[in-house]
Amino acid sequence: MAARTLFDKIWDSHVVERLEDGTAILYIDRHLVHEVTSPQAFEGLRISGRRLRRPDATIAVVDHNVPTSDRTLPIEEPESRNQIETLERNVREFGVPYFPLLSERQGIVHVVGPEQGISLPGMTIVCGDSHTSTHGALGALAFGIGTSEVEHVMATQTLLQKPARNMKVVVEGTLGAGVTAKDVMLAIIGTIGTAGGTGYVIEFAGSTIRGLDMAGRMTICNMSIEAGARAGLVAPDETTFEYVRGRPFAPQGEAFEQAVAYWKTLVADEGAQYDKVVELRAEDIPPVLTWGTSPETVIPVSGTVPDPAAEGDEAKRAQMQRMLDYMGLEAGQKIAGVPVDVVFIGSCTNSRIEDLRAAAAIVAGRHVAPGVRAMVVPGSGIVKAQAEREGLDQVFLGAGFEWREAGCSMCLGMNPDRLTPGQRCASTSNRNFEGRQGPGGRTHLLSPAMAAAAAVTGHLTDVRELI
Amino acid sequence: MEKFTVLTAIAAPLPEANVDTDKIIPARFLKTTKRSGLGVHAFDGMRYNPDGSEKPDFVLNREPYRKAGILITHDNLGCGSSREHAPWALLDFGIRCVIAPSFADIFFNNCFKNGILPIRLPREICDALMDDARLGANGRLTIDLERQVVVRPDGEEIGFEIDPLRKHLLLEGLDDIGQTMQHEGAISTFEAARGQAQPWQTRIVID
């Protein structure tokens, strides 16, 4: 057999049947469900009289719409409440396992899956959410799907798919002080562009990636979709196995050892061919952030806002100018020093305990700058409780941060956590699209440490000045 | 799903790259539990002022593009969120075909599931079709899926590629779940074999 990539191996082991035009019926091991992209799928099952084929491979949570304030109060927004109640009715009717709003296990679906051991190496994992790529950090083939495909998985436990092409992104070397997984991923997106990964699954490799903890690997894989890739992957290793060991839904005891023996085979074969290889040096990556309304608009925090006049293509030039106007920035302006109104630490990209520790390390002994609203939204109830055991909540609250309940929150502003028009936000989330965090809101994507630095200085700041 | 055979329609030019799904339908409109009714919110941020009045310059607010059935853009159409509300909003507005030099993967898939035909054509051709589209009602394009051609107002025909399976489903207006369910035997066999080979695979059960 020809040398295979990690993607090839996971793919091959899940092909139920190959259809004549090369489309595969691909078996799905885990289906994660949330309240926004599932109601029409459940309704579809109901209308067609179909059953949900494998409730025991499905898990539901509420995350996108949920308030991050006091959960014992009724949900104020009627449409949000309706969507949550609709999910609760659907999970009861179809027998789907569910972590309700008041459970400590509730949280952002892409934090909850790995945390509970529901997402495991070698699996195929899907969810009606593009950031499902997060779970690739475990060495699983994980990708986002639309609601029609959600219904397809519910009914058949499979998807109709064509194999992706293979890309490898290799990062070698040691990260400098103040440089994190988020900076690495933004640098990768800045290099290959938001469509650079279209049609590919990206395997992240190299000593820098190997040296990241699971939270860092999840941050990297999470934003694979921002590079256009369907999924990101990191080959499972001892870091992965130790992370998975003992988690509630992971195999236990002897079954775990059997699983590890199999998971150790999930590496690319010697000589496996990739359709595209991109290489970066860790030493070349400084703390970075975005200046525009596309995640590829990445510049070093020591840099300046680019000048559209230097762009040759007329359409691109116009688009750059539009971004500058929207963001309220001038060409050539230094990005450090630009004042911020809001700081958001959270989202499926950066809301794990490791992210909160990194932010708290910068915040400790300092105070949020006057006029800045700073908030921390833990990724799950479990993350929140862990942070509270470590006293991180007191660090944040003492500094003037809001310490909130778990959910997607201001990453996409479906709940009341939204920017108002013109507000500028230093955000650890994943998308800086126009209006993403609220109509007219201006988003700069950066790491938790950089967000913390912006909160305490009141402007976009090189975190290295504070460490 | 409505069949897609031959479509002759006004095409709206939107000469922008990276038109993301947040732009096509912002998150605050995703609170519906239905597929229909999103057309009024399509491109909300580009289409309306904060007070709800229309932005007169936006293409879909101008005649004859209010009745557009085809949308043409630059690269990477539909990037970002997987929300199928994006094609639902386009369909509800009246768009049955989207043409661009490249598409984001999930959006591309989602279009087919809703009877919208996404067509990849080189940037120069998209620009030429946008020039046709700027003629408005005199620049109608015809999309013939069976023959896999876009017919320009002057009669020139431009070929395009499409997967045979997807073409079949669109032409017949078929739901692919029904197709896959015909393979139920193979799925069950695969599942049983997998359970035997990997006994450590866990089930999700919450007491």
Nearest to A199 among B28, B105, B200 (CB): B105
Phi and psi torsions of A142, nearest 5° = -130, 130
What is the pLDDT, as a whole number, of residue A315?
87
Is the pLDDT reported for residue B202 higher than 90?
A: no
Residues A276 and A313 in one domain: no
Residue A460 has pLDDT above 90, yes or no: yes
CB proximity list for B87: less than 8 A, separation 6 or greater = A146, B107, B110, B111, B113, B114, B116
Here the ipTM equals 0.96
Contact call for A439 and B163, based on CB within 8 A = no
Nearest Cα to Cα of residue B11 among B89, B88, B97: B97
A269 and A161 within one domain = yes
Question: How distant is the Cα of A466 from the closest Cα of chain B, in angstroms?
Answer: 33
B202/A65 Cβ within 8 A: no
| Mean pLDDT over each residue of chain A, to the nearest integer | 97
pLDDT at A21: 85
Instruction: Give B 4-33 residues with CB within 8 A of chain A.
Output: 15-18, 20, 22-23, 26-28, 30-33
CATH of B6-174 given 3.40.50.1010, 3.40.920.10, 2.40.50.140, 3.20.19.10 = 3.20.19.10
Q: Residue A193 pLDDT more than 90? A: yes
- Amino acid in position A408: C
Alpha helices (H) in A157-213, listed in sequence order? 181-192, 207-210
pLDDT, tens digit (0-9, with 9 covering 90-100), for A303-343: 999 999 999 988 899 999 999 999 999 999 999 999 999 99
Among chain A residues, the shortest Cα distance to B165 is held by: A21
pLDDT at A20: 83
Q: Is B177 on the interface with A (CB under 8 A)?
A: yes
CA distance A451 to A60: 30
Question: Cβ of A195 and B83 within 8 Å?
Answer: no
Collect all residues of chain A within an 8 Å Cβ-Cβ radius of residue B205.
56, 97
* A123 plus A206 within the same structural domain: yes
* Contact yes or no for A65/A84 (Cβ under 8 A): yes
Domains in chain B: boundaries = 6-174
User: How do residues A337-348 score in pLDDT, each as one tens digit?
Assistant: 999 999 999 999
Distance from CA of A385 to the nearest CA of B (A): 21
Give the nearest partner residue to B200 out of A98, A258, A440, using CB atoms: A258
Say whether A179 sits in a helix, a strand or coil: coil
Q: Do B18 and A27 touch (CB under 8 A)?
A: no
Helix H or strand E segment including A374: strand A373-376
Q: Is the pLDDT of residue B1 over 90?
A: no
Predicted pLDDT at A141:
98
pLDDT average, residue stretch A70-93 = 94
Kindly tell me if the per-residue pLDDT of B75 is higher than 80.
yes
Distance CA A347, CA A110 (A): 9
The percent of residues above 90 in pLDDT, for chain A, comes to: 97
Is pLDDT at A1 greater than 80 in this prediction?
A: no
Cα-Cα-Cα-Cα dihedral of A84, A85, A89, A91, to 10°?
20
- Mean pLDDT, residues A281-300 taken together: 98
**Taking 80 as the threshold, does the pLDDT of residue B207 lie above it?**
no
- Residue A403 belongs to domain with CATH number: 3.30.499.10
Phi, psi of B185 (to 5 degrees): -60, -45
Q: Are residues A56 and A101 in the same domain?
A: yes
Least confident residue range of A170-184, A202-216, A441-455, B165-179: B165-179
Do A381 and A266 lie in one domain? The reply is no
Pairing of strands A402-403, A200-205: unpaired
Q: Which domain holds residue A449?
A: 290-465
* DSSP codes of every residue in chain B: ----SEEEE-EEEE--S---HHHHS-GGGTT-SSSSS-GGGTTHHHHB-TTS-B-TTSGGGSTTGGG-SEEEE-SSBT-S---THHHHHHHHHT--EEEES-B-HHHHHHHHTTT-EEEE--HHHHHHHHHHHTTGGGG-EEEETTTTEEEPTTS-EEE----HHHHHHHHHT--HHHHHHTTHHHHHHHHHHHHHH-TT-------
Q: What is the pLDDT of residue B183?
A: 96
Name the domain count of chain A. Answer: 2
Q: Locate A289 and state its tokens.
A: 């952030």
Q: Which residue positions of A form the known binding site?
A: 348, 408, 411
Closest-CA residue of A relative to B14 is: A315
Distance CA A40, CA A33 (A): 12
**pLDDT, average across residues A348-363:** 98
CB A376 within 8 A of CB A356: yes
- Nearest-CB residue to B181 (from A65, A97, A155): A155
Largest CA distance in chain A: 64
Whether residue A16 lies within 8 A of chain B, CB to CB, comes out as: yes
**pLDDT at residue B175 in the model:** 86
**Three-class SS of residue A230?**
coil
Same domain, A260 and A326: no
Q: Are residues A365 and A228 in the same domain?
A: no
- Residues A180, A54 share a domain: yes
* Domain end call among A285, A310, A335: A285
Q: Where does the pLDDT of residue A410 fall: very low under 50, low under 70, confident under 90, or very high at 90 and above?
A: very high
Using the predicted structure, report yes or no on whether residue A298 has a pLDDT greater than 80.
yes
Residues A376 and A398 in one domain: yes
Q: Are residues A32 and A69 in the same domain?
A: yes
Clarify whether residues A174 and A84 are in a common domain. Answer: yes
| Angstroms from A427 CA to nearest CA on chain B | 17
Q: How far from A33 is each of A20, A37, A39, A352, B29, CA to CA, in Å?
A: 31, 8, 10, 20, 19
What are the tens digits of pLDDT across the range A256-265? 999 999 999 9
Binding-site sequence positions of A for [4Fe-4S] cluster = 348, 408, 411
Same domain membership, residue A302 and residue A257: no
pTM: 0.97
Say yes or no to pLDDT of B182 above 90: yes
CB under 8 Å to A47, separation ≥6 — which residues? Answer: none
